[in-house]
Amino acid sequence: MIGDNAVAPAQNDETDGTGRRGSLGRDESSADGEGGTNGESNSGGSGDLTGAVSRELERAKGNPLAVAGEASAGALIGEAGLPDNESIGNHDLSFTAKEADSPFYALGIVLGTLVPGTDILTGVRDLIANVLQGNPWGTALEVAGLVPGFGKAADVAKAVDGVSAWAKAFSGKANELLGLLKKTVLKYAPDSFERKILDVLGDGGKKGDDAGRLVTDGGKTLDKTKKAVGDGKLVDDGLSSKDYRHISNYGDADEASLAVKPTDARAGNGEVVWLEKGTSDSGWKHIKGRHIEGTNNIDGKDPSSFFPIGQTIKGKKLPNTMSKKGVRNMIYDAIKKGDGTIRGDETKYYFQPTKHGYPNSGVDEMRVIVKSNGEIKTAFPISGSAVEKWVPELNNGQGGFI
């Protein structure tokens, strides 16, 4: 916690908002958000989530039409194609679709339920094509127009029921499905939906035959998780095995670029906080697009503030007082040393960089918002001599800097 009892000003979360160089002796040069990789590894046995997903990806590469067909069948046929499904009225639906045992079939069930009004066949085709071209799953979903919605409780319940029915029929493949959902649907899901899916497929071995368990006490998969989170990244030396398990259970260790235990407790379960590559709505991709490069929805309704790394936005050259790596360092310290305030399911950390390790950054105040599972949602500067803010409504709606 910051020692001077600073009080954060009340401002909009997206409109307000370098001392730890190479923090903890680790080089972070390889952790830059969005390369053309899915972060997949070819390792793993039956309990290794990353290995399970990699095998499914290899199968997709070998026969993309079959995988697209499996997902499409799941979207169109749904639970009716699973073994031992129930009859409806006098209509016997007791048959099994030949594609039903594929995790992509179950993914199709979820997408077919949560992406209404979409040409699901075209969408699934474009999704698989984008993944095979090297795009991350989250990006591929966006390009294919398959970003799920969670506004209708009935649809959400139906999607969970579909996953539950599939997992009951094919319990031995729960790990593969959990991996695919974590790469796709769960990146956009509210925490309540994510908890339900983890409960169905297995959260830390609490359910079923441990098929969904991602890490084990002292096992090799725990070591792999530590390596995935810690390799060349900003990692708190104080993290415990429990913290690493939490990241694996609720996030994607391969996509984490920092992990830290905050001084001020956060909302939700667990203690650790981490940053993933994320999507345009959350994580490093959102922070980089909205608050560094100015490429993500800065002409929307709300103003956008920018970390000063010497970038040019809307034709204006911004101050050059820090780097992208410095932004991550600052986010790390905001969580580690900042003042945390719990607001509903989220925790907002307020930090004063120029007073606490970043005297030449030109960023006097900043905020980091953390979801209840511990994943960083966004981070942005609030004020400072080098902080510029784009306001879309200025100049008769043409926008301008303040």
| pLDDT tens, position by position, 12-52 | 445 444 333 233 322 333 333 333 333 333 333 334 445 55
Query: In this predicted structure, which of 92-106, 176-190, 216-230, 356-370 has the lowest mean pLDDT?
Result: 216-230
Question: How many distinct structural domains can be found in the chain?
Answer: 2
Q: 221 vs 131, which has greater pLDDT?
A: 131
Angle among Cα 196, 193, 141 to the nearest 5 degrees reads 125
Q: 53 vs 260, which has greater pLDDT?
A: 260
Tell me how far apart the alpha carbons of residues 129 and 127 are, in angstroms, rounded to a whole number: 5
Contact call for residues 14 and 304 (beta carbons, < 8 A): yes
Count the residues in the chain: 402
Whether residue 43 lies inside any domain: the answer is no
Tell me how far apart the alpha carbons of residues 83 and 80 are, in angstroms, rounded to a whole number: 8
Q: State which residues form the domain around 137.
A: 49-201
Segment 211-264, tens digit of pLDDT: 333 333 333 356 777 887 876 678 998 888 888 878 877 777 888 889 999 988
Both 191 and 223 in one domain: the answer is no
pLDDT computed for residue 210 by the predictor: 34
Whether residue 176 lies inside any domain: the answer is yes
Whether residue 210 lies inside any domain: the answer is no
Instruction: Point out the domain boundary residue: 201, 230, 264.
Output: 201
Both 241 and 124 in one domain: the answer is no
Whether residue 141 lies inside any domain: the answer is yes
Both 271 and 171 in one domain: the answer is no
pLDDT computed for residue 10 by the predictor: 39
Instruction: Point out the domain boundary residue: 201, 226, 248.
Output: 201
Both 26 and 133 in one domain: the answer is no
Contact call for residues 107 and 180 (beta carbons, < 8 A): yes
Both 126 and 27 in one domain: the answer is no
Whether residue 28 lies inside any domain: the answer is yes
Both 396 and 351 in one domain: the answer is yes
The number of angstroms, rounded, from the C-alpha of 221 to the middle of its chain's C-alpha atoms is 21
Both 285 and 338 in one domain: the answer is yes
The band of 80, judged by pLDDT with boundaries at 50, 70 and 90, is confident
pLDDT computed for residue 317 by the predictor: 97
Contact call for residues 83 and 169 (beta carbons, < 8 A): yes
Put simply, whether the predicted model's pTM sits higher than 0.75 gets the answer: no
Name the CA radius of gyration of the chain, rounded: 22
